[in-house]
Chains A and B, each alone.
Chain A
Amino acid sequence: MHHLRSVFWKEKEEKAKFKLESKEKLKDDKKEKVKEEKKEKVKEKEKEKDKVKEKDKEKIKEKDKDKKEKKLTKIPSTVTSGVPFEEIFTLGVALPIFGVPLQQSVERARCHDDTGLPLVVRDSIDYLQAHGLKSNQIYRSEPDKIKLQQLRKLYTDRGAAFPYHWDIPVACAILKNFISELPESILTQELHGQFEQAAAIAEPQRESAVVALIGRLPQHNHALVAWLCCHLRAVLDNEQYNHVNIQTIMTSLGPALGMSQNLLAYLIANKDKLFPDVKLTRYVPPLQSLPADWIDRASESELSTELGKQESLLRQIHAEMHAGFITAARDHQLWEAQRIVTQLKRKLRSVQKSVEPTSLPSQHLSVDEHQTIPSIEETNAQTNEQTIEQEDITPTSQSCDVPDVKEPSNDPTFPVDFESQKPQEAVFPVEFEDTFAFEAKETEPESQEKPKLSEKELKVLRLQLENAEYLQLKSLLQAKINSEQFEIVKLRSHVALKNKQDNLQNKEKDNSSQEDQELKQKLMKENAMLEQKRLNLINQIFQERVACVQLKIELAMNEIMSKS
């Protein structure tokens, strides 16, 4: 059937060609264009048919193709999170984060906790720590250039990166790029030479010399060096899995760091002594809105940590506005962050106040001999008691706590399921496995207590999980829509260009014979059919997704049940 059809098309093509040739020999080059166009059309048709064929035949090949298609669909998705395109474009150009001094880069796009790392560095280290330590790709494989460019642009434009933007080689490469594009060594111009010298000294003096130098590093450089060394140490500790040794790292990062192997190896090997306070923790960005119950059940330290993050975010927004980047979206963000800050401050104040009155009577009891110091101790004890009390009271309202939902992607059954579903997703292959990791991240941080779950609470929990899943799906789809819109604009401009060129040719077509008309009609029919198929597939994908969400929730629920 398919063969017949393609033969038929070829015949048509030949005839059409012949027609054109036999017509007046006007402008040769233009004719050729027509030919080429027709050929292309027919070829495309054939390709599509091939696809259908293949689907019927083997599923293994399908996977490969899906991967290719995935890449293709990823390319245009540079626009995300509904920020106006022009706005993020200019912000990225005016205030770049790559290739500027570290201090500036941190000011422009930082982690809003107290690490003082550029966001892109933190995110790539986080990603590698979570997914890369045991992979043999880490610091070895070349990244997909397009994917790297895309991620880089995303960070430059302060867009939100989604899990499907990341993979191990890309994370390594973006980290490397960031470091190599810094205008000076991460050990600073001033101290780099001294570091090299210190590392060459014999042992008893070496450590103290290096420690002294590290003490002189500016705050941001200190953070970057420390995190990098801790991360590389973790990579080397997994040598038996990833087969990365210090030479591998030197080959990959050496040029960017500009350090001797001796120095780098020393820093990595002694990171515990040199950077005793640094621990690699996953970055939790500032909350975008305060859930009603979060503020009630958060401890004082959680509140003040969040307040710090929000204030840092607020400073960044103000800085961006002062640089002239004022949009409705940023205005909105500003008010939102400001409101969260106010809420947190109020809550903190009330928590602190509620401690004072209870501490007063206790002070009266112990007025005589022990004066202030014990009362402070008591106050602390009481704070603890209070927080414990709070925790005791809250579990009923706390059912939303999602206790430790482990990454479902660890579960071998899931990826397999998705693989088998993929053949149906010719239209938009969104990466399911990646989505998993992402959701797991979101739910992980909120897990401390193990509430006893009643029926009702289970229901609530399920609904909340469902809600989270759908929100996730929504943001993913939104990102897709954005990228599609971007693509539409691009294609439109192409079409406009083509139209100009084709004007003359169209005149020729008007004279075309019945056979051409037939061909046209056939093509139109074919298109309509394909369109129908496409719609069916979209429908199918949608249903599969809903099923996926249900399965995910089921899995998470099981996890919770087995925990509690």
Chain B
Amino acid sequence: MSRKAGAQGTLHKVIMVGSGGVGKSALTLQFMYDEFVEDYEPTKADSYRKKVVLDGEEVQIDILDTAGQEDYAAIRDNYFRSGEGFLCVFSITEPESFDATQDFREQILRVKNDENIPFLLVGNKSDLADKRRVPLDACRERAAAWRVPYVETSAKTRDNVDKVFFDLMREIRSRKSDDSRALNGDVRAKKRRRIKCAIL
């Protein structure tokens, strides 16, 4: 299994977070299978894998769809830890879900202990513009404060669905290459130092 994963290119681990009923599963299923499910059924946790082509490179994306309900918060922590990037979803028709993003953000930062973790703020249900109750400015403001991108999506019309996943994967990818560069840099620096010592 793991050998296969290696052969099929890199694996990016994405986690969906947000309150219950904002459309995390709907976004995931739309991205995975191009389907939109009308009837709502709360998720406990679900995980999906898909092969995609990211800027000409074949990669795999693992999507973990978490529970919005607080009942499953304990399980959630275990998943947050291994996530490489997060889509923090709220519904533009529901201010409470927008408020909750603050808590999710904090929780993620606490678990990952990293301000620069790949992260997108996602306002879902953009097709319901007439029922909008979260002003666009507030969304943009919060995203700016967190220094993360803000995107509005519609799982129903598939608007921007691919975009959020691909944008996040790009962030994860650049993050990974930064990390490895930093690592290599360290190694090189060490080597250089060692050589000097030997000469001296």
Contacts and interface: CB of A to CB of B under 8 A. Distances in A.
B140 to A, nearest CB: 33
B13 A321 contact: no
Interface of B: 1-2, 13, 45-49, 62, 64, 74-75, 78-79, 81-82
Given A288-B1, A289-B1, A322-B74, A338 B81 contact: no
A304 B49 CA distance: 21
A322 B81 CA distance: 12
Contacts of A289: 1
A338 B1 contact: no
6 contacts: A288-B1, A318-B75, A326-B78, A339-B49, A342-B46, A342-B48
B13 A335 contact: yes
A100 interface: no
Contacts of A531: none
Nearest to B44: A341
A331 B64 contact: no
B67 to A, nearest CB: 12
A335 B48 contact: no
A326 B81 CA distance: 9
Contacts of A338: 45-47, 64, 79
Q: Enumerate the 7 nearest inter-chain pairs by beta-carbon distance, A residue then B residue, closest first.
A: A338-B47, A331-B82, A339-B47, A342-B46, A321-B78, A289-B1, A342-B47
B81 A331 contact: yes
Given A322-B78, A326-B81, A339-B49, 11 more contacts: A321-B78, A331-B81, A331-B82, A332-B2, A335-B13, A335-B62, A335-B64, A335-B82, A338-B46, A338-B47, A342-B48
Interface in A317-365: 317-318, 321-322, 326, 331-332, 334-336, 338-339, 341-342, 345
A345 B46 CA distance: 9
A345 B44 CA distance: 12
Contacts of A321: 78
Interface of A: 288-289, 317-318, 321-322, 326, 331-332, 334-336, 338-339, 341-342, 345
A35 B69 CA distance: 74
Contacts of A331: 81-82
A334 B78 contact: yes
Contacts of A342: 46-48
A319 to B, nearest CB: 10
B76 to A, nearest CB: 10
Per DSSP, chain A at the interface is helix
Nearest to A321: B78
A523 B11 CA distance: 52
Nearest to A334: B78
B38 to A, nearest CB: 14
A238 B49 CA distance: 51
A265 B125 CA distance: 69
B48 A339 contact: yes
B82 A334 contact: yes
B1 A334 contact: no
B184 to A, nearest CB: 21
A332 B79 CA distance: 10
Contacts of B13: 335
A336 B79 CA distance: 12
A466 B32 CA distance: 34
Nearest to A317: B78
Contacts of A322: 74, 78
Nearest to A289: B1
Contact of B1 (A318, A336, A341): A336
Nearest to B45: A338
Contacts of B74: 318, 322
A332 B46 CA distance: 14
Contacts of A341: 46-47
Nearest to A314: B45
A307 to B, nearest CB: 13
A334 B45 CA distance: 11
B51 to A, nearest CB: 13
B79 A334 contact: yes
B29 to A, nearest CB: 9
A405 to B, nearest CB: 23
A335 B47 contact: yes
A321 B78 CA distance: 7
Most chain A CB inside 10 Å of its own CB: which residue of B1, B74, B82 = B82
A341 B45 CA distance: 9
A342 B65 CA distance: 10
A334 B77 CA distance: 12
A289 B49 CA distance: 13
A334 B46 CA distance: 11
A334 B82 CA distance: 10
Contacts of B75: 318
Nearest to B29: A346
B118 to A, nearest CB: 17
